[in-house]
Amino acid sequence: MATVSHNRMGNKYIEQTVHVKNPYLDTMEEDILYHFSLGTKTHNLPDMFGEIKFVCVGGSATRMKAFAQFIHLELNLPGNAEELEDICKGTDRYCMYKVGPVLSISHGMGVPSISIMLHELIKLLHHAQCCDVVLFRLGTSGGVGLAPGTVVVTEKAVDYSFLPQFEQVILGKVITRSTELDEGVAQDLLQCSSELQNLPTVLGNTMCTHDFYEGQGRQDGAVCSFSQEEKLEYLQKAYEAGVRNIEMESTVFAAMCRMCDLKASVICVTLLDRFEGDQITTPHDVLVEYQQRPQVLVAHFIKKRLGLI
Ligand code: R2B
Ligand code: URA
């Protein structure tokens, strides 16, 4: 939803507030964000979160804590980065850290896990009256025809048939939603990557699957019902459709942000090239460095937007 506001110079500008698409929400006396262990009656959400402008989400709780500590140092904020408190400490479903205007949250693995987190996150941003918020998913992925360690900024989040859509079953019916992401943010991220060393970055389509093994055409799961030729044929088709990486959350992330007028971007590093194999054999220290790459890129973007560089 757009609201006309005035900046410090008295000039008019359009403020983009967070638009929940649920007519029932405002009729509720209290909203309990169960999986965050937060609520509208128990917490002052505008006080706690009103200043948030950037929300970074990622699968692992450890990685999102490390990101919070990293962005704390990058933004040169007062206090000890080592002492950041998990806002969701009342639950072990997700972790959440607030660092100035940045919120860092974990979402677990797969569409169902991130989707629950996103419902509660978007409601939280709405209740907190946040505006002009940009969301980023920082993740890992399997590359399709790319050198391991390449960062993919998602152009289109696509499903198993390479279409930019997310299918949700609601009341027994399949509802299809568009997964368009913000082009401007993606282009700005690419520009940021060109200003950084050692950050090979491409724009490409990201395929979202509901499984890491058979769903991503892996032959190393407990079950496999297809041949090596069939697998390579599927990966080749994906490549020809512009797919450059495969992960497990991008379509629902894109669809929900779009429905709620939130600018969003997906930035995932590739851990391997799926044309070369299925198992992730890269040494641990190399994987740790790869996983920092989306964080370094997004930190640079945030610092630029805040006018710090
Ligand atoms: C990337 O990595 C996880 C699977 O290993 C999954 O959450 C994803 O999207
Ligand atoms: N995450 C995925 O979903 N797939 C991969 O191949 C690697 C990380």
Task: Give per-residue pLDDT as tens, 201-223.
Answer: 999 999 999 999 999 999 999 99
Residue 237 corresponds to which tokens in the numbers above? 């088709």
User: Complex ipTM, two decimals?
Assistant: 0.99
Q: Considering only CA atoms, which of 70, 108, 62, 110 is closest in space to residue 86?
A: 62
Residue 8, pLDDT above cutoff 60: no
Summarize pLDDT for 231-285 with one digit per residue, the tens: 999 999 999 999 999 999 999 999 999 999 999 999 999 999 999 999 999 999 9
How sure is the predictor about 19, in pLDDT bands with cuts at 50, 70 and 90? confident
Dihedral of CA 118/295/139/285: which sign? negative
* Cα–ligand 1 centroid distance for 266 (angstroms): 13
Q: Is 139 in the pocket of ligand 1 (CB under 6 A)?
A: yes
Q: Which of 18 and 10 is assigned the larger pLDDT?
A: 18
Among all bound ligands, the one having the nearest atom to the CA of 276 is 2
- φ/ψ of 205, rounded to 5, equals -80, 145
Summarize pLDDT for 106-121 with one digit per residue, the tens: 999 999 999 999 999 9
Q: Is 204 in the pocket of ligand 2 (CB under 6 A)?
A: no
* Cα–ligand 1 centroid distance for 7 (angstroms): 40
b/e string for 65-98 if b means 16 or more Cβ within 10 A?
A: bbbbbbbbebbeeeeebeebebbbeeeebbbbbb
How sure is the predictor about 17, in pLDDT bands with cuts at 50, 70 and 90? confident
**31, 40 in Cβ contact below 8 A?**
yes
Q: Is 160 in the pocket of ligand 1 (CB under 6 A)?
A: no
Query: Mean of the per-residue pLDDT values for the chain?
Result: 96
CA distance 254 to 135: 10
What pTM does this model have?
0.96
Summarize pLDDT for 140-151 with one digit per residue, the tens: 999 999 999 999
b/e string for 25-40 if b means 16 or more Cβ within 10 A?
A: eeeeeebebebbbbeb
Among all bound ligands, the one having the nearest atom to the CA of 280 is 2
Please measure the distance between the N-terminal and C-terminal CA atoms of the chain and give it in whole angstroms.
30
Position of tokens 């262990």? 37
Where does 7-150 show beta strands of DSSP type E?
A: 12-16, 32-33, 38-39, 54-58, 96-99, 102-106, 134-143
- Percentage with pLDDT > 90 across the chain: 94
Ordered alpha helix ranges (H), 83-182: 111-127
Q: Considering only CA atoms, which of 76, 113, 75 is closest in space to residue 95?
A: 113
- Kindly report the number of other CB atoms within 10 A of residue 207's CB atom: 30
Atom of ligand 2 nearest to the CA of 272: 6
Choose one of 57, 94, 105, 109 to mutate for the ligand 1 pocket test, by most ligand atoms within 8 angstroms of C-beta.
109
Summarize pLDDT for 31-53 with one digit per residue, the tens: 999 999 999 999 999 999 999 99
Cβ neighbours for 73, distance < 8 A, ≥ 6 positions apart: 81
- φ/ψ of 83, rounded to 5, equals -105, 20
